[in-house]
Structure 1
Amino acid sequence: MTRVGRPCKSRVLLKSGRCKNHGGKSTGPRTPEGRKRVAEAQRKRWAAYRATHAQNDATRGATPCTFSW
């Protein structure tokens, strides 16, 4: 169903049987194990992001933003 309440005309369905456009958002991990797995993945992702950006800032000689309104 679309937001208007009409059935979707798309013929493309995912394995779940839902339309890729109107199937709904993910509800996220439900189990404690799933939540731990997602939290660890986020920690790894942010650590890699910080390492990359720290390296880029050091090579560019970037200074912290001092702009204020």
Structure 2
Amino acid sequence: MNVLETLLLVWAAGGVLSRDGDRLHIEAPKGAIPPQLLDALRANKASLLALLPMRAPAQADEATK
């Protein structure tokens, strides 16, 4: 699965993918991301990190509340 397919499947599952430093952050309904999609996210992590913008500090603060 390539990077674009991975992103599209995350969005189709109702998820939002963002970058937090050298980590990927996924917000999705519980159980929405199947194991094979998690595997694809891991396999494409470097490319996804290069593609996604950094999360704004306000977004990071909200995520920790």
Q: Which has the larger radius of gyration?
A: 1
Higher strand fraction (1 or 2):
2
Higher helix fraction (1 or 2):
2
